[in-house]
Amino acid sequence: MLDHAAATFALLASSTRLHIMWVLAESDSDVSSLGARVGRALPTISQHLTQLKMGGLVHARREGRRHVYSIRDPRVLTIVKLMIGQLSEGPRPETAPAQH
């Protein structure tokens, strides 16, 4: 169980893969759309999608000539949202001790 969790976190340690997961949280997407939203070249997006797919985090379905990717396990998305939400808040100011 811990090995699986560590492998999942290792996949999410890449800012590009994390960004892909964030985009897929909003809606399913093909490689071209992901490349435009993430700001990376299509071969780079394809490589990261392959890693995410092999890791069981995303899956693909065919729609005509294109592959559309989506999140395989929404529980991983909960972790991603929580992590990004916590980190985007920045350091929390410490409360000053009450003066008597």
Q: Could you read off the pLDDT of 35-65 as tens digits, one per residue?
A: 999 999 999 999 999 999 999 999 999 999 9
Cα–chain center distance at 63: 22
Distance between CA 78 and CA 80 in Å, rounded? Answer: 5
Contacts of 67 (CB under 8 A, 6+ apart): 30, 31, 60, 61
* Tens digit of each residue's pLDDT (9 = 90 or more) over 85-94: 777 776 655 5
Confidence of residue 96 (pLDDT cuts 50, 70, 90): very low
pTM of the predicted protein model? 0.81
- Separation in Å, CA 10 to CA 7, 51, 55: 5, 11, 10
